[in-house]
Chain A
């Protein structure tokens, strides 16, 4: 089975700040890591490779610093990695990002399964997986919490919708986005980390892909960020309850019942 796992590198912090002067996000000095849900997608790929054989290629679009997270994914056990890196890809929204990923997947060729994490923890959209599925005209199972190989060209997945669990059968090739409930990603062993440095990371720019220049980067992105700001949260008037739990509860219940 030929598996591609699309991953994104995200800042290793919840506390990205806004530069008060420029109103831009301050991202420098923040270490990059694999988006956590993408680790679940890599783990799912490793388990499927164990059952069905095959290869796992990691695919990511971003600056050269994204090699850090691709290297981590290789250390988990993926076979090879491709970084889509070019100034022309910069400023891409979900539509333009998914377009370049789709073109890269076409170039890899004969891919059976494309895995994503359910969403990134920074931009939080979860849109790139479904757009890639549409671009490649493939069926999708999003937010999958389980995945079972039926035979070599069919998977059964369970998706947790808002109040139902959906069982879905899908023939390969297909796109799956993975919830963290599916598995516990394995740790990188020292041996695998060492091996990861022997594996090649291929870099493709627009020159290696058959991309339409009007559909990549900022030019191919219909959305524009108009403004970034820190919201002011409306505060609440906080009333302190007495130190003794019994008195505190008595006062609280009296207040709430009024």
Chain B
């Protein structure tokens, strides 16, 4: 057993999934004298080390095998199990992405340890990694620890922390392991989804529509405005039933957490489940006909009035 904090670096195609870098920064922030280690599993031809290094891990543990291309969850978990069982980190963090949330519990089951899902914060209390996670909607938080078993595992919600570059002397370890193919499953293909909500988390400007802006005219204007501002349209849960929108456009709990520079909410009342998804927005402007809508308490600018009128005025005045 050592005192290292490990971060699983997820790859999206040739790139590093941004949450992994956010977790390296967060791990450094809470580490004290604990070394921060980035765990990379990539194909032979890939080389994400240069990118990962910029965020200042003390060490990178690299697993290379061409079979990581289109690997199954079980195959990735098996590879990680080999290195984790051997090198015994104190803590192991995953992005709470679909992949992270699929691989981490399989690894947890192999290691017979605890895993806390979708954390919004982590900190050390002595040797205990305190994992702060929402429950019953984000209105209630739990602090969870794993006192007796190591590693302490958590998946962390994307865009909860900011990735910050840092200069460190990073040691690189190429770890040798055996890739064990899983017989009964085959990842046939991966098709990129373009313009999907996966990207709404990264959008700099978001035009968000809720029940009070649920009509074709307003939706069409919102798309136009998003185009003009170089932003994206997101929705609260009720509008995910509309044609053209889905879960992937949804902002809030069970949807996406967003962190744009500017968020404009049209006709959104501001239920807790929504509000938690927008906390990290820099500037929030909200338009609602109900002066008492809870969204206004969460906003920097409030306009009590008609969504369509405000949208038209914006379209006129934004150059």
- Interface residue ranges, A against B (CB under 8 Å): 11, 14-16, 18, 25, 93-95, 98, 119, 121-131, 133-135, 138-143, 156, 159-171, 174, 179-181, 221-231, 233, 235-241, 243, 245-246, 248-250, 252-253, 255-256
Contact = CB atoms under 8 A, between A and B. Distances in A.
Contacts of B144: 223-226
B310 to A, nearest CB: 5
B310 A240 contact: no
Interface stretch (B171-179, B213-221, B311-319): B311-319
Q: Which of A93, A169, A231 has the most CB of B within 10 A?
A: A231
A223 B145 contact: yes
B265 to A, nearest CB: 12
A179 B101 CA distance: 14
Contacts of B116: 223
A25 B136 contact: yes
B87 interface: no
Contact of A168 (B149, B186, B303, B313): B186
Given A161-B97, A236-B284, A238-B301, A228 B141 contact: yes
B273 to A, nearest CB: 6
A236 B299 contact: yes
Q: Which of A25, A125, A221 has the most CB of B within 10 A?
A: A125
A169 B182 CA distance: 12
A125 B134 CA distance: 10
A22 to B, nearest CB: 14
Interface string B152-192: 00000000000000000000000000000011111111111
Contacts of A221: 114
Contact of B143 (A11, A16, A225, A243): A225
Given A168-B187, A230-B140, A233-B279, A159 B98 contact: yes
B193 A160 contact: yes
Q: Which of A126, A135, A163, A243 has the most CB of B within 10 A?
A: A163
Nearest to A14: B137
B110 A134 contact: yes
B141 A222 contact: no
B98 A162 contact: yes
A167 B188 CA distance: 5
Nearest to B314: A249
A160 B185 contact: no
Contacts of B283: 256
Contacts of B147: 224
B248 interface: yes
B246 interface: yes
Chain B: number of interface residues, binned into ranges: 35 or more
Interface of B: 12-13, 17, 70, 72-74, 77, 97-99, 101-106, 108-110, 112-118, 130, 133-149, 182-193, 196, 198-199, 246-248, 253-254, 262, 271-273, 275, 279, 283-285, 296-306, 309-310, 312-314, 316-318
A179 B198 contact: no
A223 B101 contact: no
B3 to A, nearest CB: 19
A243 to B, nearest CB: 7
A233 B299 CA distance: 12
Contacts of A141: 185
B12 A164 contact: yes
Contacts of A98: 109
Contacts of A143: 98, 101-102
Given A163-B198, A224-B146, A248 B299 contact: no
B185 A123 contact: no
Contact of B118 (A95, A124, A165): A124
A181 B255 CA distance: 13
Contacts of B112: 95, 222
B185 A131 contact: no
Contacts of B136: 11, 14, 16, 25, 122
8 contacts: A125-B105, A127-B104, A139-B72, A140-B185, A162-B98, A163-B192, A236-B284, A238-B299
A14 B118 contact: no
B46 to A, nearest CB: 16
A255 B303 CA distance: 14
A11 B136 CA distance: 9
Contact of B298 (A129, A236, A249): A236
Contacts of A233: 275, 279, 298
Nearest to A161: B98
Given A162-B12, A223-B146, A238-B296, A142 B73 contact: yes
Contacts of B186: 168-170
B174 to A, nearest CB: 27
Contact of A245 (B113, B115, B297, B313): B313
Given A95-B109, A122-B135, 9 more contacts: A126-B117, A128-B105, A131-B105, A139-B72, A143-B101, A160-B98, A225-B143, A236-B297, A236-B299
Nearest 5 CB-CB pairings of A with B:
A134-B109, A223-B114, A139-B185, A222-B114, A125-B117
B258 to A, nearest CB: 14
Nearest to B150: A222
B105 A130 contact: yes
Contacts of B318: 253
A7 to B, nearest CB: 18
A255 B191 CA distance: 42
